[in-house]
Chains A and B, each alone.
Chain A
Amino acid sequence: MRVSGWLVHLTTRALAESMDVRTMTHLVRRLIPNYDIHDRTGFPPNIPIPNKNAAHQIVMDMKESERFLPFINLLISMGDAGFMGRRYKVSHLREIVSEICKTGFLYDREFGMFVEDPLVRRTSNWGVLREGEEYIFTFLRLDIVGNSELVRVYPSEVVQVSYTDLRNILQTSIEKRNGRLWNWEGDGGLGSFYFSQKNNAAALCAIEVIHELFLYNHHSCRLDQPLRVRIAVHSGQCQFRHNFEDFNNDTMKQIIDMESIYTKPDSITFSSNVYTMLDAGIAEQLTPMKTEKNLMLYSYELKWEKGKSG
C-alpha cells in the first residue's frame, strides 16, 4: 500500500496528541518486539524525546517496514478495546480510516484489520498477507476429469473455449465469496479462502460450481460429452507466497491426494478439518466416506429424485 504524505502527517498528529512516548513505544513493540525509539530517533537515552519527534519516527518506520496498516489496526483496537488496561481516544482516527479507504481498502470489523476492497482490486494476498508468513487457509482444488482424452478427441479451440467457460464459473464463484483463484493450469485450478467464514465459503463455492457445471453441460457445453470435474476442499496452515510455484507444504499435498485418490468424478470431497467448521445446513448435505487409511472424509454429489423421463 502506498502511504501518502498526508496520511503520514495525520497519523503523526494522532499519535502525538493521543499518548505519551512510552505508550507509543509499547504499541510499536506489538509489531516490532525490540523497537528502540532512542536508537531510531538518535536521542540519547537520558534525554526525553518530544512527542512529535517520536510519533513521526514511529510512523515513518511503520511505513518503511510495510507495517503501516497493522499499526493503524492497533490504533483502532486501542480506541475500541483499550490498551494495557486503559481506553484511549485516538484523535483523527476517522480521518485516517477514511484516507486509507480512499486507497482501496475496507476495514473488516470481524478480523479487526484492513483488507482490500474487492470492488477496487483483487490481489492474491487480499492486500494484507505477507510473503513467507504462516496463515490458515481453506483451499479448493478442482481438476478436470479425462483432460488428456478431451484434448486428443476435440479440436483445440473447442476444448479451449470449454475450459475457459469452466474457469469463469470457478472464478466467479470463488470471488463472489471473497476468495482468490491462485492458480489455473489449464486442466484445473486452486482457489483459496482466508477471510470471514472461509470453510463455509469454500464449501458453498464448490457446491455451486458442481451445480453451475450441471447447467453448463445441459445448456451450453460444446463438447459431445459432459465436462466433468473432481473437487476437494481442505483447510490447513500454509506459508503465503506470491509466486504459486513456491507453495510447497503438507496442506497442499493433502488436498492433491484428496482430489486425485478419493474424489469421484462430479463430486466434492471435504476433509474433516473443513467438515467440523461447517454450518449445520451445509454439513447435513454431505455424506461420510470410507477410506483405506481411516481418513475421515465427506463427499457431496448432485442427486436427483427418481422419475427422470427420456
Chain B
Amino acid sequence: MKIAVFEGSEAVRSCFKLLDGKKDFALSFLPWQSLKKNLKGLEKNVFVYIDISHYEETETEKILKYLSRQKDLKYGIVDPEEQILDVALLFFSGAFDYIGRKLIKEGVRPLRMKKVLCNVQTKHPQGALPTEAMAHTAARGETPAGQSVSKPAVGGEKTGQKAGSPKGKKQPFLASVTDFKPSGRNWSMVKSGQEYTFSLMFIELDHHGEFRKNLGEDIIDATTYSFKNLVQRLVAGDHGRIWIWDDFGGLVLFPFDGTKCDAVISCFRLMLNRKIICIEELSSRMLFSYRIVLHIGNTIYRQKGKTGTLISDSINSIYHVGKKFANPGNLYITKEVLPYVPEKLSTYFLPVARYEGLELLRMLLPL
C-alpha cells in the first residue's frame, strides 16, 4: 500500500517510522506546501496524510473543504497541535483517519494502519486501493458521469473467448456499446433528454394472461400492487428506479458508472428469494414466478411517464428478450453484464443463446 505524507516536521515523520521498511507499506514524504500540486499527480491507490499544523486557522478550514471535495481521495489528517475541536466532523466530510498529539508521540503501528486501510476498503470496495478491483477500474477507463469515452480496444470477443467463459469475464467494458456514456453512481448527474448508459432490468410476472381467467379482480389488483411495491423497494437500495411499468411488470433503470453493476445482486437476490417473496410479500396463496432480463445499454433518459415517444435499441431488445424469449421463472443477463458479475457468482450463469444480437446467459435456479 502506498502512503504519501504531506508534512513539514521531524515529529510527524518519526510518527510513521514504525511503518518504514514493512513490506505492506510504501511510504513517501512530500512537502506540505506542494499539497494541491502533488495531489493531482498522485495515483488513485495512494492513501494520503496531511499535516495541518503549518496552516493558519482559516487556511486549515479551506484545506479541509478542499480535501472533502476530492472525489477519489482517501485521506487522513495529522494534527500535532490538536487544532481540530470536533474530530467527528472530519469523518463526516470524508476523512478516514485522524492522528492527534498523543498518537504522534506513540507512532502509528502497522496493525492500526491496516485497520484504516481495511475501513477504506469497506466503504469503497471499488475505490482507489491497490486491489484487483482497482486494476480493473483503471482498465475500464472510468470517467465522470456524462462524459463519453471511446470503446476500449480489448473485449471478450476479440480475445477469442466464448461468451459466458469465466476467463473472459474480467475483460473490460462492452464490445457492443459503441458509445459508452456513464450515468454515474447515482441519479444526481442524470438529466432528462440526454443519452446515458444504464443497467436496464426487465421484470414481469409470469403467466399473467391466465390470471384473468383464474383469479378474481381483487386478487390480481392486490398482487400486482404488491409486486410493484416489492420491486420498487428491492431495487431502491442499489439506486434502481422503476421507469416504465404496466400492470404486471416493466423496466427498471440503474445508474451505471462503468465500474460495477449492483443490479446483478438485486436480480440474483430476487431469484434466490422467490419463494419467500411469494409467501411473505405477494398478497396471495399462489406461488407466483417472474422472469428477469438484465442488460447494460444506452438510452435517452426521460422522466417517468414521458417515455411514450422514446426510441431506443437497448430498450427494444430487452423487451423482446423479456417478452418473447425468456422462459418463466428465469433470470437472463446479457454478455455486457457478465464482466460485472462477482467472480464467484459468475459460475451460476450459463450461456444459452443469441437473440436479436444479444448474447444471453441464464442463471441456474435454486431448487
Contact = CB atoms under 8 A, between A and B. Distances in A.
Q: Is B truly associated with A?
A: yes
B287 interface: yes
B265 A304 contact: no
Contacts of B164: 309
Contact of A304 (B115, B342, B344, B367): B367
Given A215-B265, A217-B344, A305-B367, A281 B278 contact: yes
Contacts of B275: 281-282, 285
Contacts of A157: 114-115, 118
Nearest to A302: B366
A218 interface: yes
| Range of interface residues on A (Cβ < 8 Å) | 20 to 34
Contacts of A304: 348, 364-367
Contacts of B347: 308-310
Interface residues of B, number: 31
Interface string B104-125: 0000000000110010001001
A220 B124 CA distance: 12
A211 interface: yes
A303 B285 CA distance: 24
Interface string A287-310: 000000000000000111101111
Interface stretch (B43-51, B140-148, B266-274): B266-274
Contact of A305 (B125, B166, B345, B364): B364
B279 interface: yes
B346 A161 contact: no
Interface string B32-49: 000000000000000000
B276 A207 contact: yes
- DSSP class of A's interface residues: helix, strand, loop or mixed? helix
A290 to B, nearest CB: 21
A24 interface: no
A309 B165 CA distance: 9
A117 interface: no
A285 B125 CA distance: 35
Nearest to B361: A309
A215 B279 contact: no
Nearest to B362: A307
B63 interface: no
B256 to A, nearest CB: 18
A165 to B, nearest CB: 10
Contact of A219 (B114, B118, B265): B265
Interface string B201-232: 00000000000000000000000000000000
Given A220-B125, A304-B365, A211 B348 contact: no
B366 A215 contact: no
Interface string A148-166: 0000000101100100000
A10 interface: no
9 contacts: A155-B114, A157-B114, A157-B118, A204-B279, A204-B280, A285-B275, A305-B364, A305-B367, A309-B164
Interface of B: 114-115, 118, 122, 125, 164, 166, 265, 268-269, 272-273, 275-276, 278-280, 285, 287, 342, 344-350, 364-367
